């Protein structure tokens, strides 16, 4: 009996957007718009797109808004991976970018042990930075739990935030609740 409860819970974990994509027995309408692309330090890149998903069943229509982060690898052996971020997660994600950037600036001149700062989304995207000593700071975006990571300098990291802000603003023009 515990096993069936676990299966039921697992089916509803993650983002609302992912749940909308898994919906069966209804019409699913997907609108996708690429907002921007950012090149990583090692020739990989991250694409930011908006998602507007509508489920139509009879006279009922439910809509969900979100953002898709997709990592494009550097070679034919790497898999392209993606994560979804619900619209209501974006505000907290923007705050995380600001906190991480501020902390990185404060730690830059300090000699400290290896330090990692990470923010994780519902769909297991990870943003953050690490510092090995006062000479070496590196920002990163992890797109899946399987280790696919794009490394960025801190200026690129904040540029990614700017692209996400643009995505949020676009979703607001399309009816997402702010």
* CATH label of the domain that carries residue 103: 3.30.2450
Please give the distance of CA 172 from its chain centroid, rounded to a whole number: 18
Report yes or no on 54 lying in a domain.
yes
Rounded CA separation 47/32 (Å): 12
What pTM did the predictor assign?
A: 0.84
Q: Which domain holds residue 163?
A: 2-173
Rounded CA separation 126/157 (Å): 12
Report yes or no on 99 lying in a domain.
yes
CB atoms within 10 A of CB 17: 25
Residue reference for tokens 């690898």: 73
Number of domains in the chain: 1
What does the pLDDT look like over 1-46, one tens digit per residue? 344 333 333 444 667 766 666 666 778 899 999 999 999 999 899 9
Report yes or no on 12 lying in a domain.
yes
Pairing state of beta strands 136-142 and 60-72?
unpaired
Report yes or no on 178 lying in a domain.
no
CB atoms within 10 A of CB 24: 5
């Amino acid at each position: 009996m515990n096993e069936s409860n676990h299966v039921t819970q697992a089916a509803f974990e993650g983002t609302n957007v992912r749940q909308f994509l898994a919906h069966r027995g209804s019409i699913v309408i997907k609108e996708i718009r690429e907002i921007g692309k950012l090149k990583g330090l090692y020739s990989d890149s991250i694409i930011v797109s908006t998602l507007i998903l509508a489920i139509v069943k009879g006279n009922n229509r439910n809509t969900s808004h979100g953002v898709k982060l997709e990592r494009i690898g550097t070679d034919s052996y790497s898999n392209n991976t993606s994560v979804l971020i619900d619209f209501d997660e974006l505000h907290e994600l923007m705050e995380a970018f600001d906190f991480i950037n501020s902390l990185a600036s404060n730690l830059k001149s300090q000699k400290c042990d290896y330090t990692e700062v990470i923010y994780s989304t519902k769909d297991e995207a990870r943003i953050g930075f690490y510092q090995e000593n006062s000479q070496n700071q590196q920002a990163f975006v992890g797109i899946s739990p399987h280790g696919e990571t794009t490394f960025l300098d801190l200026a690129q990291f904040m540029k990614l935030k700017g692209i996400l802000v643009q995505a949020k603003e676009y979703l607001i023009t399309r009816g997402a609740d702010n």
